[in-house]
């Protein structure tokens, strides 16, 4: 008698668990149980208890039965909210206000759970204090013995995207010393900037921004660049974003304290000088963001700034980086940068190449 009662309880428990879950049946006869998270009509994400999120080809699904209300968007701007079942290749949404709404499976564009719909609604009109993505990069190295060097690399990147605009902030610093060298500071570069993009339509946008840079070993106290122009989304998908930008900028840069050797003397004598440049220039750029798999993001930026008052003078920048997720909040980042200027002080080199690697701490998941 006790065994029969236990069997009934177990059967009821299993049956209740199945009834309180969404059911998916595939063309090959497989049955999957879990909670539907979202679908873009190409794939469907089902959250399962033991396998986590499972991505299923939407075309491979022949039957859906849900125990939760889903938000279903259809072609032509139609939408409905309710529990979903399928019948004869159609989705039936049992709404509370309009009864059962039927739609062919091919007419479905988006399916979202309540949680996904709430997150999507917030993304349409996020406040300035919400919706930020990005993180902080940290790298440090230390050597002792035959060398005495310290290296610290810091970077910060943040973005606040909405359907209509985007705010981008960035800052980075690399500082390296070698106590056995003269001078002991062998690298001291600080950069920062912000940009605001405003969409004109899904393909084009306008932008305004400012970038700042100082480079001790190039005797650059500060370079400030204020620019604006037009941008084009040549490619914009979930995995790939390729933008081209063109516009103009005003550049104000100050070099100072650069040692300059005077005519031969014994011992040689040095003097200091200052130099300030103010000019208008073009802004020509290309930016690429590429997702590789589920854990790695590659970014690349190439910019060219020709001086409008003296076409023989220009500046070019190239950046390439990767971030690979280790966990939801921790990743491994690599960053390569090349900055070239045609008119630094005579004792400074025109080209600076910087490579940093370290941990990336994300403040959004």
pLDDT in tens, 87-121: 778 889 999 988 999 999 899 999 999 999 988 88
Distance CA 244, CA 242 (A): 7
User: What does DSSP assign to residue 307?
Assistant: B
- pLDDT score of 260 more than 80: no
User: What DSSP designation does 58 have?
Assistant: G
Higher pLDDT, 5 or 114: 114
In contact, 254 and 275? CB cutoff 8 Å? yes
Q: What is the percent of the chain with per-residue pLDDT over 90, rounded to a whole number?
A: 51
Instruction: Determine if the peptide bond prior to 287 is cis (ω within 30°).
Output: no
**Would you call the peptide bond into 183 cis, given omega within 30 degrees of 0 as the criterion?**
yes
Dump pLDDT digits (tens) for 7-41.
443 444 444 444 458 999 999 989 999 999 999 98
The average confidence (pLDDT) of the chain is 86
Model confidence band, residue 6 (pLDDT cutoffs 50, 70, 90): very low
Residue 84, number of CB atoms within 10 A of its CB: 23
Inform me whether the pLDDT recorded for 203 exceeds 80.
yes
Q: Please report the pLDDT score of residue 5 as a whole number.
A: 45
CA distance 257 to 217: 10
Categorize the per-residue pLDDT at 143 as very low, low, confident or very high, splitting at 50, 70 and 90.
confident
Residue 109 to residue 154: CA distance in whole angstroms: 43
Structure tokens, 265: 């003397």
Q: Which two tokens stand for residue 106?
A: 């091919």
How would you class 129 by CB atoms within 10 Å of its CB: exposed for 0-12, middle for 13-18, buried for 19 or more? exposed
Domains for the chain: give ranges and CATH numbers. 19-124 (no CATH), 133-362 (2.40.160.40)
Average pLDDT over residues 70-96: 90
Q: What is the DSSP letter of 217?
A: G
Which has the minimum average pLDDT: 60-69, 122-131, 165-174, 353-362?
Answer: 122-131
Cα separation of 262 and 268, whole Å? 7
What are the angstrom distances between the C-alpha of 52 and each of 15, 118, 217, 221, 355?
A: 21, 21, 52, 52, 37
Tell me how far apart the alpha carbons of residues 168 and 210 are, in angstroms, rounded to a whole number. 11
Residue 306, φ and ψ in degrees, nearest 5 = -80, 135
pLDDT score at 127: 76
Predicted local distance difference test score (pLDDT) of residue 19: 47
């Amino acid at each position: 008698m006790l065994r029969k009662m236990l069997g009934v309880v177990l059967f009821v428990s299993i049956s209740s668990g199945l009834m309180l879950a969404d059911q998916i049946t595939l063309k090959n006869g497989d049955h999957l149980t879990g909670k539907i998270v979202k679908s873009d009509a190409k794939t469907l994400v089902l959250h399962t208890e033991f396998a986590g999120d499972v991505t299923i080809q939407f075309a491979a699904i022949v039957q859906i039965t849900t125990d939760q209300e889903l938000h279903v968007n259809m072609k032509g701007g139609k939408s409905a909210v309710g529990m979903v079942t399928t019948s004869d290749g159609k989705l039936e949404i049992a709404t509370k206000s309009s009864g059962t709404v039927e739609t062919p499976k091919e007419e479905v564009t988006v399916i979202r759970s309540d949680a996904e719909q709430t997150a999507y609604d917030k993304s349409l009109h996020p406040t300035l204090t919400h919706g930020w993505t990005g993180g902080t990069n940290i790298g440090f190295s230390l050597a002792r013995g035959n060398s005495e060097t310290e290296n610290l690399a810091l970077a910060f990147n943040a973005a606040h995207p909405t359907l209509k605009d985007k705010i981008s902030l960035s800052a980075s610093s690399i500082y390296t010393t070698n106590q056995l060298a003269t001078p002991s500071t062998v690298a001291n570069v600080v950069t920062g900037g912000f940009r605001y993009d405003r969409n004109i339509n899904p393909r084009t946008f306008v932008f305004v921004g400012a970038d700042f840079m100082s480079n001790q070993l190039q005797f650059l106290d500060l370079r400030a660049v204020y620019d604006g122009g037009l941008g084009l989304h040549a490619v914009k998908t979930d995995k790939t974003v390729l933008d081209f930008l063109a516009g103009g900028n005003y550049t104000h840069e100050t070099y100072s304290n650069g040692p300059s050797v005077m005519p031969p003397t014994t011992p040689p004598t040095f003097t200091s000088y200052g130099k300030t440049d103010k000019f208008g220039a073009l802004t020509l750029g290309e930016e690429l963001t590429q997702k590789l798999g589920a854990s790695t993001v590659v970014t690349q930026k190439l910019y060219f700034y020709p001086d409008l008052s003296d076409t023989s003078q220009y500046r070019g920048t190239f950046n390439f980086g990767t971030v690979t997720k280790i966990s939801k909040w921790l990743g491994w980042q690599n960053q390569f940068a090349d900055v070239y200027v045609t008119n630094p002080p005579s004792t400074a080199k025109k080209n600076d190449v910087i490579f940093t690697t370290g941990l990336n701490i994300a403040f959004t998941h």
